[in-house]
Amino acid sequence: MYAAPSIQKLLDELERLPGVGPKSAQRIAYWILNADKATALRLAEAIAEVKDQVRFCERCFNYAEDDLCEICRSPKRDAGVICVVSEPRDIPPIERTAVYDGVYHVLGGALSPLEGIGPDNLRIAELMKRLASEEVREVVLATNPNVEGETTAAYLARLIKPLGIRVTRPASGLPVGGDLEFADEVTLGRALEGRREV
């Protein structure tokens, strides 16, 4: 398909997005072309703004616009319970359940020896520092229920249990091989309510 150079450049960039193939890129590009200029510029400004203003929370490594994210700053959260997740995108589905009121720690991935991701590539040392310096009663290992997530949870449980901190994992209800970001609120809420000792 022939496209003007500027359109082709847009198509090429859109196809680099996860889950966006050539047909989806075309639909998005033509939507942008057909939108009024103000709408297209708002989208461009939102992208530029998020890249300029968002960084990682200094405590939990969630996305934040300040040194600490809103969850870490909130006095309503139970800082004695830390939910460990692989990525910041895993936090919103848990928050939507309205069941969990603790804080988080984002690892920045999961253990995957085949991909060369070991403990030193994740924020495990930072988690252990938090556990040593904060009064934590429980750590919920909410990594994805797939091979990498289960391996990561087992590894963390071996590190944390000797500290005398309760270690739990969300109960069944999450499909094995699935990702938290795609779980519905009811299933995820039940899994968190029924979490079990590791």
For 84-89, what is the mean pLDDT?
97
Query: What pLDDT does residue 139 have?
Result: 97
Residue 2: band (very low, low, confident or very high) from pLDDT cuts 50, 70, 90: low
Give percent of the chain above pLDDT 90.
Answer: 79
List the single range of 6-10, 146-150, 155-159, 193-197 with lowest mean pLDDT: 193-197
Residue in 126, 121, 161 with CA at minimum distance from that of residue 141: 161
Percent of the chain scoring above 70 in pLDDT: 95
Tens of pLDDT, residue by residue over 90-126, are 999 999 999 999 999 999 999 998 899 999 999 999 9
Q: What is the pLDDT of residues 143-181, one digit of tens each?
A: 998 889 989 999 999 999 999 999 999 876 666 677 777
Predicted pLDDT at 170: 85
Token pair 């300040």 is found at 66
User: What is the reported pLDDT for 1?
Assistant: 56
Q: Of 26, 6, 3, 4, whose CA–CA distance to 14 is shortest?
A: 26
Q: Are strands 138-141 and 102-106 parallel, antiparallel or unpaired?
A: unpaired
Q: What's the mean pLDDT in 62-66?
A: 96
What is the rounded CA–CA span in Å between residue 166 and residue 8? 54
Are 148 and 110 in contact by the 8 Å Cβ rule? The answer is: yes
Q: What is the DSSP letter of 10?
A: H
* pLDDT for residue 160: 97
- Look at residue 189 and tell me whether its pLDDT is greater than 90: no
For 39-50, what is each residue's pLDDT tens digit? 999 999 999 999
Q: Quickly count: other Cβ atoms within 10 Å of residue 129's Cβ.
A: 11
The pLDDT value given to residue 70? 96
